[in-house]
Amino acid sequence: MPLPPDLHVHTEWSWDAGRGSMERSCERALELGLPAIAFTEHAEWNKVHPGQHSVDIAGYFDAIERCRAKFRGLRILSGVELGEPHWFPNETAEVLAAGPLDMVHGSIHCIHMDGGLLDASQFRERAGLDFPAAVREYFRETLVMLNSGLPFETLAHIDYPKRYWLDGVGPYREQDYEPEIRAVLVAAASTGRVLEVNTTRGRILCPDITVVRWWREVGGQAVQYGSDAHDPDRIGEGFKLATQMVEAAGFKAAKDPMGLWRR
């Protein structure tokens, strides 16, 4: 069984991918026999990390063209991962107008909390943070993004905060946030979005089977896969487990050029 395309990969065109390389990622995708790869660089305008900046979209498109010329046996998809695009409608429109993008992810990384802006990866550094309240705020913000009318097709890493869970606050359980997650899924399904199963470079499935089952229940049509690799060595990591999980939740590999699994 061939692996599906990896539709969420970062390269040197993302500010946080110090080990990223578009060329080596293409080589790795060919080695793995992936049918396609999408380079979905960070298009985001918050400043919560040192050195954080949005993709240089013109330079990025040049790199895509160079790789397409060099790796003719690989389907190379262009893309961006929009971060909180509803907070930056003008910047978002500018990036989307810069050229044809095959793949546009919508992501929430940051929330407003305790009077400031906080990336979920920073939750555990914040002493005394009310984790469940922060996670509820995360899902609320995701719902606002989905209903903002902005043009993105994929809902990326729906339960991103669980990657950064804190030992000692009790385990993350989807059931504890079921109403919030279901509301997000309903909004995604009713706006025709695809749910991403993000394998976090082989570390943790975002989301896991409980949420993919809910996705099916609320009428979600399709699932796609992304490793969120920031390093060529991590491409396609966790995909075997992820496809088995998605199939157990009732979706099947479709004869689909984008590599979707459908109900």
Per CB under 5 A, residues contacting Zn ion are 81, 107, 228
Q: Which is nearer to Zn ion, 216 or 238 (CB)?
A: 238
* Sign of the dihedral through C-alpha 58, 191, 159, 223: negative
Tell me the C-alpha distance between 225 and 236, whole Å.
Answer: 9
Instruction: Find the shortest distance in angstroms from Cβ 175 to Zn ion.
Output: 24
Instruction: Find the shortest distance in angstroms from Cβ 252 to Zn ion.
Output: 26
Instruction: Write down the H helix ranges in 71-177.
Output: 89-97, 131-146
Q: Which is nearer to Zn ion, 121 or 217 (CB)?
A: 121
Q: Which is nearer to Zn ion, 227 or 243 (CB)?
A: 227
Contacts of 137 (CB under 8 A, 6+ apart): 111, 112, 113
Cβ pair 20, 14 in contact under 8 A: yes
Instruction: Find the shortest distance in angstroms from Cβ 109 to Zn ion.
Output: 6
Q: Which is nearer to Zn ion, 39 or 251 (CB)?
A: 39
Tell me the C-alpha distance between 221 and 224, whole Å.
Answer: 11
> What is the distance of C-alpha 170 from the center of its chain?
25
Q: Which is nearer to Zn ion, 228 or 231 (CB)?
A: 228
Print burial letters for 229-240: b (CB count within 10 Å at least 16), e (below 16): bbbbebbbbbbe
Instruction: Find the shortest distance in angstroms from Cβ 50 to Zn ion.
Output: 18
**Residue closest to 185 by CA, chosen among 218, 139, 224:** 218
Q: Which is nearer to Zn ion, 25 or 107 (CB)?
A: 107
Tell me the C-alpha distance between 74 and 219, whole Å.
Answer: 33
Instruction: Find the shortest distance in angstroms from Cβ 157 to Zn ion.
Output: 6
Q: List phi, psi (to 5°) of 252.
A: -125, 150
Instruction: Find the shortest distance in angstroms from Cβ 8 to Zn ion.
Output: 6
Instruction: Find the shortest distance in angstroms from Cβ 228 to Zn ion.
Output: 4
Tell me the C-alpha distance between 214 and 190, whole Å.
Answer: 14
Q: Which is nearer to Zn ion, 138 or 216 (CB)?
A: 138
